[in-house]
Structure 1
Amino acid sequence: MDPADCIISVLGAPASGKGTLCKKLIQDPRFNGRLHHVSVGDLLRGMPSGPDINGHIAAGTVLPGNELVPILRAHLDSLPRSSSEKKIVLLDGFPRSLEQEAAARNVMVSAGSEEFPDLVVYFSCPKEVLRDRYVARKRGKDDGRLFEKRYEQHEKECPRVVEKYKSKGVLVEVDSSGSIDESFKALVGVLETFLEA
Protein backbone atom coordinates (compact mmCIF):
# COMPACT_ATOMS: atom_id res chain seq x y z
CA MET A 1 0.00 0.00 0.00
CA ASP A 2 1.45 3.35 -1.07
CA PRO A 3 -0.97 6.18 -0.24
CA ALA A 4 -0.82 9.48 -2.05
CA ASP A 5 1.01 12.33 -0.33
CA CYS A 6 -1.66 14.78 -1.45
CA ILE A 7 -5.19 14.37 -2.84
CA ILE A 8 -6.75 17.22 -4.81
CA SER A 9 -10.45 16.85 -5.65
CA VAL A 10 -11.45 18.44 -8.95
CA LEU A 11 -15.15 19.28 -9.17
CA GLY A 12 -17.39 20.96 -11.70
CA ALA A 13 -20.43 20.45 -13.89
CA PRO A 14 -20.35 18.36 -17.09
CA ALA A 15 -18.17 20.08 -19.75
CA SER A 16 -16.61 22.46 -17.22
CA GLY A 17 -13.16 21.31 -18.32
CA LYS A 18 -12.18 18.90 -15.55
CA GLY A 19 -10.77 16.16 -17.77
CA THR A 20 -9.24 18.45 -20.39
CA LEU A 21 -7.44 20.65 -17.90
CA CYS A 22 -6.26 17.78 -15.68
CA LYS A 23 -4.77 15.98 -18.70
CA LYS A 24 -3.00 19.19 -19.69
CA LEU A 25 -1.67 19.59 -16.14
CA ILE A 26 -0.02 16.18 -15.90
CA GLN A 27 1.91 16.90 -19.11
CA ASP A 28 3.20 20.25 -17.86
CA PRO A 29 6.95 20.06 -17.11
CA ARG A 30 6.58 22.48 -14.20
CA PHE A 31 5.11 19.65 -12.14
CA ASN A 32 7.89 17.21 -13.03
CA GLY A 33 5.73 14.10 -13.36
CA ARG A 34 4.42 14.38 -9.78
CA LEU A 35 0.76 14.55 -10.76
CA HIS A 36 -1.56 11.60 -11.36
CA HIS A 37 -4.93 12.21 -13.01
CA VAL A 38 -7.68 9.83 -11.90
CA SER A 39 -10.99 10.33 -13.71
CA VAL A 40 -13.56 8.53 -11.59
CA GLY A 41 -15.97 8.12 -14.51
CA ASP A 42 -13.27 6.71 -16.82
CA LEU A 43 -12.02 4.39 -14.06
CA LEU A 44 -15.47 2.89 -13.50
CA ARG A 45 -16.31 2.62 -17.20
CA GLY A 46 -13.01 0.81 -17.78
CA MET A 47 -13.69 -1.90 -15.22
CA PRO A 48 -14.61 -5.34 -16.66
CA SER A 49 -17.18 -5.69 -13.90
CA GLY A 50 -18.36 -3.40 -11.16
CA PRO A 51 -20.90 -0.66 -10.49
CA ASP A 52 -23.32 0.19 -13.30
CA ILE A 53 -22.07 3.71 -13.91
CA ASN A 54 -24.10 4.17 -17.11
CA GLY A 55 -27.24 3.04 -15.30
CA HIS A 56 -26.69 5.70 -12.65
CA ILE A 57 -26.10 8.36 -15.32
CA ALA A 58 -29.30 7.35 -17.16
CA ALA A 59 -31.28 7.40 -13.90
CA GLY A 60 -29.78 10.72 -12.81
CA THR A 61 -28.41 9.25 -9.58
CA VAL A 62 -25.01 9.25 -7.89
CA LEU A 63 -23.10 6.05 -7.17
CA PRO A 64 -23.19 5.28 -3.41
CA GLY A 65 -19.97 5.98 -1.53
CA ASN A 66 -19.79 2.50 0.00
CA GLU A 67 -19.54 1.05 -3.53
CA LEU A 68 -17.19 3.64 -4.93
CA VAL A 69 -14.71 4.43 -2.14
CA PRO A 70 -13.08 0.96 -1.90
CA ILE A 71 -12.48 0.98 -5.68
CA LEU A 72 -10.91 4.44 -5.55
CA ARG A 73 -8.77 3.67 -2.50
CA ALA A 74 -7.30 0.55 -4.13
CA HIS A 75 -6.62 2.43 -7.37
CA LEU A 76 -4.93 5.36 -5.65
CA ASP A 77 -2.70 3.03 -3.64
CA SER A 78 -1.63 1.26 -6.84
CA LEU A 79 -0.42 4.41 -8.60
CA PRO A 80 3.38 4.48 -8.97
CA ARG A 81 5.56 7.03 -7.24
CA SER A 82 7.93 9.04 -9.45
CA SER A 83 11.39 8.60 -7.87
CA SER A 84 11.52 10.55 -4.60
CA GLU A 85 8.89 13.08 -5.66
CA LYS A 86 5.62 13.38 -3.80
CA LYS A 87 2.66 11.49 -5.25
CA ILE A 88 -0.07 14.04 -5.92
CA VAL A 89 -3.44 12.80 -7.16
CA LEU A 90 -5.94 14.89 -9.11
CA LEU A 91 -9.20 13.15 -8.29
CA ASP A 92 -11.47 14.20 -11.15
CA GLY A 93 -15.19 14.07 -10.32
CA PHE A 94 -15.20 12.98 -6.69
CA PRO A 95 -16.95 13.42 -4.34
CA ARG A 96 -20.21 14.29 -6.11
CA SER A 97 -22.43 14.14 -3.03
CA LEU A 98 -22.25 14.63 0.73
CA GLU A 99 -22.87 10.89 1.11
CA GLN A 100 -19.78 10.11 -1.00
CA GLU A 101 -17.82 12.73 0.93
CA ALA A 102 -18.75 11.14 4.27
CA ALA A 103 -17.84 7.67 3.01
CA ALA A 104 -14.45 8.91 1.84
CA ARG A 105 -13.48 11.05 4.81
CA ASN A 106 -11.81 8.38 6.95
CA VAL A 107 -10.74 6.05 4.15
CA MET A 108 -9.21 8.30 1.50
CA VAL A 109 -6.93 10.52 3.60
CA SER A 110 -3.51 11.19 2.12
CA ALA A 111 -0.19 10.44 3.79
CA GLY A 112 0.31 14.16 4.36
CA SER A 113 -3.01 14.96 6.04
CA GLU A 114 -5.65 13.71 8.43
CA GLU A 115 -8.42 15.20 6.28
CA PHE A 116 -9.82 14.33 2.86
CA PRO A 117 -9.11 15.99 0.51
CA ASP A 118 -6.10 18.27 0.91
CA LEU A 119 -7.49 20.76 -1.64
CA VAL A 120 -10.65 21.13 -3.72
CA VAL A 121 -10.60 22.89 -7.09
CA TYR A 122 -14.06 23.83 -8.38
CA PHE A 123 -14.47 24.85 -12.03
CA SER A 124 -17.25 27.42 -12.36
CA CYS A 125 -18.89 28.01 -15.72
CA PRO A 126 -22.34 29.29 -16.88
CA LYS A 127 -24.85 26.63 -17.90
CA GLU A 128 -25.21 28.01 -21.44
CA VAL A 129 -21.48 27.63 -22.08
CA LEU A 130 -21.47 24.13 -20.57
CA ARG A 131 -24.38 23.00 -22.74
CA ASP A 132 -22.81 24.34 -25.95
CA ARG A 133 -19.54 22.56 -25.15
CA TYR A 134 -21.27 19.32 -24.25
CA VAL A 135 -23.35 19.18 -27.42
CA ALA A 136 -20.36 20.19 -29.59
CA ARG A 137 -18.09 17.44 -28.22
CA LYS A 138 -20.79 14.83 -28.85
CA ARG A 139 -20.57 15.83 -32.54
CA GLY A 140 -24.30 15.81 -33.14
CA LYS A 141 -25.01 12.48 -31.48
CA ASP A 142 -26.67 14.12 -28.50
CA ASP A 143 -29.23 16.90 -28.72
CA GLY A 144 -28.59 18.01 -25.15
CA ARG A 145 -31.11 15.88 -23.29
CA LEU A 146 -28.39 13.85 -21.57
CA PHE A 147 -26.62 17.08 -20.66
CA GLU A 148 -29.79 18.37 -19.00
CA LYS A 149 -30.06 15.17 -16.96
CA ARG A 150 -26.41 15.26 -15.92
CA TYR A 151 -26.55 18.98 -15.13
CA GLU A 152 -29.68 18.49 -13.03
CA GLN A 153 -27.87 15.74 -11.08
CA HIS A 154 -24.88 18.04 -10.59
CA GLU A 155 -27.07 20.88 -9.28
CA LYS A 156 -28.90 18.54 -6.94
CA GLU A 157 -25.77 17.25 -5.19
CA CYS A 158 -22.59 19.18 -5.91
CA PRO A 159 -23.41 22.69 -4.56
CA ARG A 160 -23.76 21.26 -1.04
CA VAL A 161 -20.36 19.56 -1.38
CA VAL A 162 -18.84 22.83 -2.63
CA GLU A 163 -20.34 24.78 0.29
CA LYS A 164 -19.01 22.26 2.80
CA TYR A 165 -15.46 22.48 1.46
CA LYS A 166 -15.70 26.27 1.20
CA SER A 167 -16.65 26.45 4.87
CA LYS A 168 -13.65 24.25 5.73
CA GLY A 169 -11.33 26.60 3.84
CA VAL A 170 -9.99 24.01 1.39
CA LEU A 171 -11.88 25.09 -1.76
CA VAL A 172 -10.52 27.26 -4.56
CA GLU A 173 -12.77 28.32 -7.44
CA VAL A 174 -11.41 28.57 -10.98
CA ASP A 175 -13.38 30.32 -13.75
CA SER A 176 -13.35 27.85 -16.65
CA SER A 177 -15.75 29.75 -18.91
CA GLY A 178 -13.02 31.15 -21.13
CA SER A 179 -10.56 29.46 -23.46
CA ILE A 180 -8.59 26.37 -22.47
CA ASP A 181 -5.41 28.47 -22.22
CA GLU A 182 -7.07 31.07 -19.97
CA SER A 183 -8.54 28.42 -17.68
CA PHE A 184 -5.29 26.49 -17.61
CA LYS A 185 -3.29 29.56 -16.62
CA ALA A 186 -5.64 30.15 -13.69
CA LEU A 187 -5.45 26.50 -12.65
CA VAL A 188 -1.65 26.42 -12.76
CA GLY A 189 -1.55 29.52 -10.56
CA VAL A 190 -3.76 27.82 -7.97
CA LEU A 191 -1.69 24.64 -7.92
CA GLU A 192 1.67 26.39 -7.77
CA THR A 193 0.51 28.51 -4.84
CA PHE A 194 -0.85 25.46 -3.01
CA LEU A 195 2.17 23.21 -3.61
CA GLU A 196 4.64 25.90 -2.60
CA ALA A 197 2.83 26.64 0.66
Structure 2
Amino acid sequence: MSPNLLLIFVLGPPAAGKGTLCGSLTGQYAVQHMSVGDVLRKVATNNNHPSINQKLEKQELINAEELLPILKDKLSEAGLKDPERRVMLIDGFPRSKAQGEAFEAQYLAAPQLVQLFRCDKEVARKRYLDRKRGKDDDAMFEKRYHEYEIESEAIESAYGKRGLVLEVQVDTEILESWDNLQNLLAQDQRWKSLFVR
Protein backbone atom coordinates (compact mmCIF):
# COMPACT_ATOMS: atom_id res chain seq x y z
CA MET A 1 0.00 0.00 0.00
CA SER A 2 1.21 3.50 -0.78
CA PRO A 3 2.60 5.10 2.41
CA ASN A 4 1.46 8.51 1.13
CA LEU A 5 -2.24 7.74 1.27
CA LEU A 6 -4.34 9.16 4.09
CA LEU A 7 -7.36 6.97 4.74
CA ILE A 8 -10.95 7.78 5.59
CA PHE A 9 -13.37 4.95 6.26
CA VAL A 10 -16.96 5.62 5.21
CA LEU A 11 -19.51 3.52 7.10
CA GLY A 12 -23.27 3.21 7.03
CA PRO A 13 -26.10 0.77 6.38
CA PRO A 14 -26.70 -0.68 2.92
CA ALA A 15 -27.99 1.95 0.46
CA ALA A 16 -27.29 4.85 2.83
CA GLY A 17 -25.78 6.76 -0.10
CA LYS A 18 -22.11 6.15 0.65
CA GLY A 19 -21.09 5.75 -2.99
CA THR A 20 -23.11 8.72 -4.21
CA LEU A 21 -21.79 11.11 -1.57
CA CYS A 22 -18.21 9.86 -1.92
CA GLY A 23 -18.50 10.47 -5.66
CA SER A 24 -19.57 14.05 -4.93
CA LEU A 25 -16.61 14.51 -2.59
CA THR A 26 -14.18 13.48 -5.33
CA GLY A 27 -15.55 16.29 -7.50
CA GLN A 28 -15.20 18.89 -4.76
CA TYR A 29 -11.97 17.92 -2.99
CA ALA A 30 -8.58 16.35 -3.79
CA VAL A 31 -9.69 12.89 -2.72
CA GLN A 32 -9.98 9.45 -4.30
CA HIS A 33 -12.83 7.02 -3.71
CA MET A 34 -12.77 3.24 -3.51
CA SER A 35 -15.98 1.29 -3.02
CA VAL A 36 -15.14 -2.07 -1.49
CA GLY A 37 -18.38 -3.47 -2.87
CA ASP A 38 -17.45 -2.42 -6.41
CA VAL A 39 -13.96 -3.89 -6.01
CA LEU A 40 -15.39 -7.23 -4.90
CA ARG A 41 -17.96 -7.30 -7.69
CA LYS A 42 -15.10 -6.88 -10.20
CA VAL A 43 -13.24 -9.72 -8.51
CA ALA A 44 -16.34 -11.87 -8.88
CA THR A 45 -16.65 -10.96 -12.57
CA ASN A 46 -13.06 -12.06 -13.17
CA ASN A 47 -13.79 -15.28 -11.26
CA ASN A 48 -10.33 -15.33 -9.64
CA HIS A 49 -11.57 -16.04 -6.12
CA PRO A 50 -14.29 -18.74 -6.07
CA SER A 51 -14.82 -18.51 -2.30
CA ILE A 52 -15.36 -14.75 -2.55
CA ASN A 53 -17.81 -15.31 -5.40
CA GLN A 54 -19.83 -17.68 -3.23
CA LYS A 55 -19.92 -15.24 -0.32
CA LEU A 56 -20.93 -12.36 -2.57
CA GLU A 57 -23.72 -14.46 -4.03
CA LYS A 58 -25.09 -14.94 -0.51
CA GLN A 59 -24.07 -11.39 0.55
CA GLU A 60 -21.99 -12.83 3.39
CA LEU A 61 -19.18 -11.08 5.24
CA ILE A 62 -15.77 -11.75 3.66
CA ASN A 63 -13.04 -12.50 6.16
CA ALA A 64 -9.94 -10.34 6.54
CA GLU A 65 -7.59 -13.03 5.19
CA GLU A 66 -9.33 -12.94 1.81
CA LEU A 67 -10.26 -9.28 1.67
CA LEU A 68 -7.16 -7.43 2.87
CA PRO A 69 -4.71 -8.54 0.13
CA ILE A 70 -7.20 -7.33 -2.48
CA LEU A 71 -7.58 -3.97 -0.74
CA LYS A 72 -3.83 -3.63 -0.36
CA ASP A 73 -3.31 -4.09 -4.11
CA LYS A 74 -6.04 -1.60 -4.98
CA LEU A 75 -4.68 0.99 -2.57
CA SER A 76 -1.17 0.56 -3.98
CA GLU A 77 -2.51 1.13 -7.50
CA ALA A 78 -4.42 4.21 -6.35
CA GLY A 79 -1.37 5.73 -4.67
CA LEU A 80 0.61 5.41 -7.87
CA LYS A 81 -2.18 6.44 -10.22
CA ASP A 82 -2.98 9.82 -8.69
CA PRO A 83 -0.32 10.89 -6.17
CA GLU A 84 -1.75 14.41 -5.97
CA ARG A 85 -4.92 13.02 -4.41
CA ARG A 86 -3.49 11.67 -1.19
CA VAL A 87 -6.77 11.25 0.70
CA MET A 88 -8.59 7.97 0.02
CA LEU A 89 -12.23 7.44 0.92
CA ILE A 90 -12.83 3.72 1.47
CA ASP A 91 -16.55 3.14 1.49
CA GLY A 92 -18.05 0.02 2.99
CA PHE A 93 -15.00 -0.85 5.09
CA PRO A 94 -14.59 -2.19 7.67
CA ARG A 95 -17.76 -4.24 7.94
CA SER A 96 -16.61 -5.73 11.23
CA LYS A 97 -14.32 -4.63 14.06
CA ALA A 98 -12.07 -7.60 13.26
CA GLN A 99 -11.58 -6.42 9.67
CA GLY A 100 -10.50 -2.98 10.86
CA GLU A 101 -8.13 -4.37 13.48
CA ALA A 102 -6.55 -6.78 11.00
CA PHE A 103 -6.07 -3.99 8.46
CA GLU A 104 -4.23 -1.79 10.95
CA ALA A 105 -2.13 -4.68 12.27
CA GLN A 106 -1.03 -5.90 8.84
CA TYR A 107 -0.54 -2.60 7.02
CA LEU A 108 0.24 -0.26 9.92
CA ALA A 109 -2.27 2.20 8.50
CA ALA A 110 -5.06 3.69 10.58
CA PRO A 111 -7.90 5.91 9.37
CA GLN A 112 -7.52 9.64 9.87
CA LEU A 113 -11.30 9.99 10.06
CA VAL A 114 -14.37 7.73 10.03
CA GLN A 115 -17.45 9.19 8.36
CA LEU A 116 -20.49 7.48 9.82
CA PHE A 117 -23.59 7.90 7.65
CA ARG A 118 -26.84 7.68 9.62
CA CYS A 119 -29.87 6.60 7.59
CA ASP A 120 -33.36 5.57 8.67
CA LYS A 121 -33.98 1.90 7.92
CA GLU A 122 -37.05 2.46 5.75
CA VAL A 123 -35.30 5.13 3.69
CA ALA A 124 -32.37 2.76 3.19
CA ARG A 125 -34.75 -0.06 2.24
CA LYS A 126 -36.43 2.05 -0.45
CA ARG A 127 -33.07 3.10 -1.92
CA TYR A 128 -31.84 -0.48 -1.82
CA LEU A 129 -34.84 -1.83 -3.71
CA ASP A 130 -34.98 1.12 -6.15
CA ARG A 131 -31.44 0.56 -7.39
CA LYS A 132 -32.40 -2.93 -8.67
CA ARG A 133 -28.92 -4.41 -8.39
CA GLY A 134 -28.58 -8.12 -9.17
CA LYS A 135 -30.56 -10.31 -6.80
CA ASP A 136 -31.24 -7.56 -4.27
CA ASP A 137 -34.70 -7.94 -2.76
CA ASP A 138 -36.43 -7.21 0.54
CA ALA A 139 -35.18 -10.40 2.18
CA MET A 140 -31.59 -9.61 1.19
CA PHE A 141 -31.96 -6.07 2.51
CA GLU A 142 -33.15 -7.42 5.86
CA LYS A 143 -30.17 -9.79 5.98
CA ARG A 144 -27.68 -7.03 5.14
CA TYR A 145 -29.25 -4.50 7.49
CA HIS A 146 -29.38 -6.99 10.36
CA GLU A 147 -25.70 -7.81 9.82
CA TYR A 148 -24.87 -4.09 9.81
CA GLU A 149 -26.73 -3.56 13.09
CA ILE A 150 -24.90 -6.46 14.74
CA GLU A 151 -21.42 -5.31 13.66
CA SER A 152 -21.79 -1.53 13.73
CA GLU A 153 -21.97 -0.97 17.48
CA ALA A 154 -18.51 -2.44 18.10
CA ILE A 155 -17.02 -0.58 15.14
CA GLU A 156 -18.53 2.76 16.17
CA SER A 157 -17.41 2.28 19.76
CA ALA A 158 -13.83 1.43 18.79
CA TYR A 159 -13.37 4.43 16.49
CA GLY A 160 -15.42 6.71 18.72
CA LYS A 161 -13.07 6.10 21.65
CA ARG A 162 -10.22 7.28 19.41
CA GLY A 163 -12.06 10.47 18.48
CA LEU A 164 -12.26 9.56 14.80
CA VAL A 165 -16.02 9.48 14.15
CA LEU A 166 -17.92 12.17 12.24
CA GLU A 167 -21.65 11.39 12.18
CA VAL A 168 -23.63 12.57 9.16
CA GLN A 169 -27.41 12.33 8.74
CA VAL A 170 -28.05 11.19 5.15
CA ASP A 171 -31.65 10.03 5.01
CA THR A 172 -32.90 13.26 3.44
CA GLU A 173 -32.96 14.07 -0.30
CA ILE A 174 -29.49 13.67 -1.80
CA LEU A 175 -28.83 17.41 -2.24
CA GLU A 176 -29.80 18.08 1.37
CA SER A 177 -27.61 15.21 2.57
CA TRP A 178 -24.75 16.61 0.46
CA ASP A 179 -25.17 20.08 1.97
CA ASN A 180 -25.25 18.56 5.44
CA LEU A 181 -22.04 16.61 4.77
CA GLN A 182 -20.24 19.66 3.34
CA ASN A 183 -21.26 21.85 6.28
CA LEU A 184 -19.97 19.31 8.78
CA LEU A 185 -16.69 18.86 6.91
CA ALA A 186 -16.17 22.63 6.68
CA GLN A 187 -16.14 22.75 10.48
CA ASP A 188 -14.13 19.59 11.09
CA GLN A 189 -10.46 20.15 11.90
CA ARG A 190 -9.60 16.48 11.30
CA TRP A 191 -10.88 16.77 7.73
CA LYS A 192 -9.30 20.16 7.05
CA SER A 193 -5.90 19.01 8.36
CA LEU A 194 -5.72 16.35 5.63
CA PHE A 195 -5.36 19.00 2.95
CA VAL A 196 -2.61 21.04 4.61
CA ARG A 197 0.85 20.21 3.30
TM-score category (smaller protein)? 0.7 to 0.9
Matching residue of 1:113: none
Contact 2:22 2:33 in 1 (8 A): yes
Aligned length: 187
Shift of 1:143: 4.2
Question: Higher helix proportion, which one?
Answer: 2
SS of corresponding position for 2:99: helix
1:43 to 39, 42, 45: 39
Pairing 1:21-170 to 2, within 5 Å after superposition: 21-28=21-28, 31=29, 34-47=30-43, 48=46, 49-50=48-49, 52-59=51-58, 61-79=60-78, 80=80, 82=82, 85-110=84-109, 116-138=110-132, 142-170=136-164
Query: 1:54 and 1:132, CA in 2 relative to 1: closer, same or farther beyond 3 A?
Result: farther
How many Å separate the matches in 2 of 1:173 and 1:122? 5
Query: Unaligned stretches of 5+ in structure 2?
Result: none
Cα-Cα RMSD: 2.3
Matching residue of 2:6: 6
**TM-score normalised to structure 1 length:** 0.84
**TM-score normalised to structure 2 length:** 0.84
Shift of 1:86: 4.9
How many Å separate the matches in 2 of 1:78 and 1:143? 34
Contact 1:135 1:143 in 2 (8 A): yes
Query: Unaligned stretches of 5+ in structure 1?
Result: 111-115
Q: Per-residue CA shift, 1:11-57, capped at 9, x if unaligned? A: 000010101111111122xx1xx211101111111122126445324
SS of corresponding position for 1:95: coil
